[in-house]
Amino acid sequence: MYGDGAVVVVLAGGHTTGSVIVFVTLPSGLRYAFIGDLTWQIDGIRRRVERPRLLSRLADSDRGRLRQDLLRMIALDGLMRIVPAHDLGSYDGIPLLAPEAAARSH
């Protein structure tokens, strides 16, 4: 996003068209993947669990693509911190960056 690889945005349109995964690397080297609604809870990654079929039919636009993206994120678990949008516990310990610090860093 800034040309330095610190923020990378990748299309992940299986849940909804236009969905993205945002990869962030902090100056400390900590790496995060903000996966939105690819899975709603981190258990979807750790236990390799998809949404129930009926719920997926209602919520997901392309189940096959969603499954591919989910498998890619499962492969990255342990290499970076994966943060689903609806799993509040996944946000624990993520450092906050003040807006003025963000402006200075890029």
Which positions of the chain have pLDDT values less than 70?
A: 1, 14-16, 49-61, 98-106
b/e for 40-62, b at 16 or more Cβ within 10 A?
bbbebbeeeeebeeeeeeeebee
pTM: 0.77
Shortest CA distance to 68 belongs to which of 11, 106, 22?
11
pLDDT of 8: 94
Helix (H) or strand (E) holding 8: strand 7-11
Asked if 70 and 63 count as a contact pair (C-beta separation under 8 A), the reply is: no
Q: Is 7-105 a domain of CATH 3.30.470.30?
A: no
Q: Where are the domains of the chain?
A: 7-105
Number of C-alpha atoms within 13 angstroms, CB side, residue 54? 0
